[in-house]
Structure 1
């Protein structure tokens, strides 16, 4: 009885309702979607979530190791619930010349939620000094994911870097979507010499090796360019390279749709080409395009990370996952502070979540899926 009811409801349900029902049955897609939303929420509230600012440093804590959280503290009254970390003291190994850190049991640093810390402006507008978690006493230093060579908190910098690395994917894909829809739509709908010309341009761009092309275009950005301008130019570079695959997908869909009856009716009714493309044809495969765009975002994130890691993308003082990974480019840093790979772990989680999310949307958008 329930199967019949479901079938009956599916028969009268709209396209988006059917897509949502199919997506809910895709477990990995749902998990990826939840993680993706959480990551973008982190990128939105970085000032509140990060215990410290990305520029906050402590020269006496260079390459400080991660500190474990202890939930209970033994006192005269017994075992009490009191989240804390054990402080550290540094010692110099004169044989190797390295600073080592050992736990100091007498140094108990209480931690908590909604603690006071560095002042900031939420969304650039609202002044505040509350942070989601961190040391209860403002002057204490706690490193949940270790510190870098300048004594800066790796976790805080990774949280701040999510804003740049995740938004550059959104902006880059948005520009690629506009180019792909425009050129791919014109190519598939008009055909003829326009189709031939656009396809030859796409084939030429796809024949160019990606990494040398990235290096050449990114190296053309002057070193004196401001961080905001560099961010914008890197986004444009990634978009110029990434629109070709999307245009091919759009062209194929338009070739299949231009012979449909509703397109012929719109043409006979006197609708002009832009209106037919935007008002009639594009909405018919909008759900499919959402899935394609979602799968394209991870490529943008990886591309930005690769460029910045090689030193030809974003540069300091911009904080992105690729810029942070520059700290782990030599063997000495890797052996002394493996926690510098924390931004790399963030890249892996974000890319996997977006891929699972995109796979779920693609399957849900397939009208032939069960």
Structure 2
């Protein structure tokens, strides 16, 4: 019985030579896994818009001194609990350059309460790209340039002032630098720990997996917020604000790694049985190379999604600690520290604008959750 002759075509395979494909189908075939990942993410409209919002927030952080009308510690004793001012374009029915109405303080003869009354007779035009209050740019050199300034001899408080006469809008911008970076740095710490311990448990298994699993269960069994409070209260009161900031960041990062470690472990236990991992091991690759060169890249998109979903918890953790007086300390400021003034119910009733820092906290947490959901869906290969 004669054997059939078999031929091997050594020419490179071209999909367009076997079937007619559209340009879109060809791009889909030739696209890398990361290209497909970002295309699927871009189709998630809410996640994409939230990502642009977060990108704008973080791009703003290096230039807070230029964007804020006042430094965070600037005070005006004559403007304690001053109400927000609105930017207007029309005065007496005529179009006018952007301006605000000035406010004057008076005493109500019936309630004997201090009240701020708008002076609508004289609009106070805003100045743009101007010279205003001096500040230390990144604590490196002194500057006085601002994007917007009040009129000469006037004041500008778009979100009102607090109990010390400090501008709330300016302090929200400065507070964003602390509240937003503490989430990124904290997640970076937990990500390193989670990848290292979860990767060891998932790849080696055996007693290594057992020990790490028991450690994860021990950390997860501890009540999170009381433990945060206890560790934060243990920080010496003599520490400078920057050291306290780093201490709070490390505490949040060290206590949030178990969830990421479990996700990494579960994924590695699946990947270690894949053929490309077995092939690398048979070719003599070391465990470190197998994990770093072959397994982590296949899990990178899932790690990004999990890390993004962990950042809101870090931001809320710092906000809660600072709100309770156990987090960031003066003269630094954060959104949680600003909300500390809202612990008195009478302050909220009479001066509701002191709750303004809640708005960026809510918007940022929602944006991170939407981005995390979009990244998680994009990392799923079964998503269109």
Fold shared by both chains (TM-score > 0.5): yes
1:269–1:165 Cα change, 3 Å: same
Higher RCO (C-alpha under 8 Å, 6+ residues apart): 1
How many residue pairs are counted as aligned between the two chains?
A: 365
> Does the Cα contact within 8 Å between 1:116 and 1:136 map onto a contact in 2?
no
Instruction: Show the counterpart of 1:229.
Output: 243
Counterpart CA distance in 2 for 1:342 and 1:3 is 55
Counterpart CA distance in 1 for 2:108 and 2:94 is 36
SS at match of 2:126: strand
Instruction: Show the counterpart of 2:55.
Output: 37
> Does the Cα contact within 8 Å between 2:102 and 2:154 map onto a contact in 1?
no
Give the C-alpha shift of residue 254 in structure 1: 0.5
Counterpart CA distance in 1 for 2:111 and 2:81 is 15
SS at match of 1:45: helix
119, 139, 163: which one aligns with 1:149: 163
Counterpart CA distance in 2 for 1:211 and 1:127 is 39
Instruction: Show the counterpart of 1:288.
Output: 302
Instruction: Show the counterpart of 1:340.
Output: 354
Which digits, 9 at most, give the CA deviation of each residue in 1:210-237, with x for residues without a partner?
1111111111111111111101110111
Counterpart CA distance in 1 for 2:151 and 2:78 is 20
Aligned pairs (5 A) from 1:1-370: 4-74=22-92, 79-93=94-108, 96=111, 98-125=113-140, 127-137=142-152, 139-370=153-384
Structure 1, unaligned runs of 5 or more: none
SS at match of 2:333: coil
Question: Which deviates more, 87-96 or 15-24?
Answer: 87-96
Which digits, 9 at most, give the CA deviation of each residue in 1:79-117, with x for residues without a partner?
243211111110134665532101112342111321221
Question: Which has the larger Rg?
Answer: 2
Question: Which deviates more, 86-95 or 217-226?
Answer: 86-95
> Does the Cα contact within 8 Å between 2:71 and 2:134 map onto a contact in 1?
no
Task: Using structure 1 for the length normalisation, give the TM-score.
Answer: 0.94
Question: Which deviates more, 255-264 or 116-125?
Answer: 116-125
Give the C-alpha shift of residue 119 in structure 1: 2.6
Counterpart CA distance in 2 for 1:254 and 1:169 is 26
Counterpart CA distance in 1 for 2:371 and 2:137 is 29
Structure 2, unaligned runs of 5 or more: 1-19
> Does the Cα contact within 8 Å between 2:91 and 2:123 map onto a contact in 1?
no
> Does the Cα contact within 8 Å between 2:200 and 2:208 map onto a contact in 1?
yes
